[in-house]
């Protein structure tokens, strides 16, 4: 990621408390040591020890020096830094709002996904229950059909046996009737022959 062109100069705009001596304006802190003087290295400050706002930049005052920077250039740079910082803050606010909205959408999507998963599991369970119930009902129907078929088969066999018995009884009775009728005819024929013999 490219570095911000104002980053190095913004870090040098730190201020805190009152300014130093020699008529320095309030809020002034030197950005480099005085000529011929060395400044001991400062201990690193914690990440949250310095907060810079656009208003801080616009109110920052610099000590004037014969070898200092051009006041117009410094003022122009300070205004551009403040404008850039305001733009960054606005963009950050927009991004935070967008992140919040996306987080809410993600939460809603996850809730919807969870509800859909629960509905899918419930549908699968219902389908499984319906399949088991259908198989159980089919088994019951099959057993009832088999029992009814056996009952009908037994009744058919019983009716067939009864019909055969009646047929045999009818045949026996018919044979007896025919035998008696034949005997009757033979007696009558014998009587007729006897009458014819007496008449001749």
Tell me, yes or no, whether 122 lies in a domain.
no
77: buried, middle or exposed (CB in 10 Å: 19+, 13-18, 0-12)? middle
Q: Is residue 165 part of a domain?
A: no
How far, in Å, are 71, 181, 182, 190 from residue 194 at the CA level?
Answer: 179, 20, 18, 6
Domain that holds residue 29: 7-37+44-101
How many domains are there within the chain? 1
| Per-residue pLDDT in tens (0 to 9) along the chain, 200 residues | 444 444 444 444 444 333 444 444 444 444 444 444 444 444 444 444 456 677 777 777 766 666 676 777 778 887 888 888 888 999 999 999 999 999 999 999 999 999 999 999 999 999 999 999 999 999 999 999 999 999 999 999 999 999 999 999 999 999 999 998 888 888 888 888 888 777 65
Entry pTM: 0.38
* CA 15 to chain centroid: 55
Whether 84 is covered by a domain: the verdict is yes
């Amino acid at each position: 990621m490219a570095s911000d062109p104002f980053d190095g100069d913004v870090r040098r705009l730190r201020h805190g408390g009152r300014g130093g001596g020699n008529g320095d304006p309030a809020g002034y802190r030197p950005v480099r040591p005085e000529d011929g003087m060395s400044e001991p290295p400062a201990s690193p400050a914690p990440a949250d020890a310095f907060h810079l706002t656009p208003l801080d930049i616009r109110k920052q005052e610099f000590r004037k020096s014969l070898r200092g920077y051009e006041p117009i250039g410094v003022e122009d740079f300070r205004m551009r830094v403040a404008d850039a910082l305001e733009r960054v803050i606005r963009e950050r606010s927009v991004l935070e709002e967008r992140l919040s909205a996306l987080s809410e959408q993600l939460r809603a999507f996850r809730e919807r996904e969870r509800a859909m998963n629960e509905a899918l599991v419930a549908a699968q369970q219902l389908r499984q229950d319906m399949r088991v119930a259908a198989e159980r009902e089919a088994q019951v129907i099959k057993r009832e059909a088999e029992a009814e078929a056996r009952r009908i088969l037994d009744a058919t066999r019983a009716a067939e046996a009864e019909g055969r018995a009646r047929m045999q009884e009818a045949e026996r009775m018919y044979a007896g009737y025919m035998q008696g009728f034949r005997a009757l005819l033979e007696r009558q024929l014998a009587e007729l022959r006897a009458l014819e013999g007496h008449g001749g």
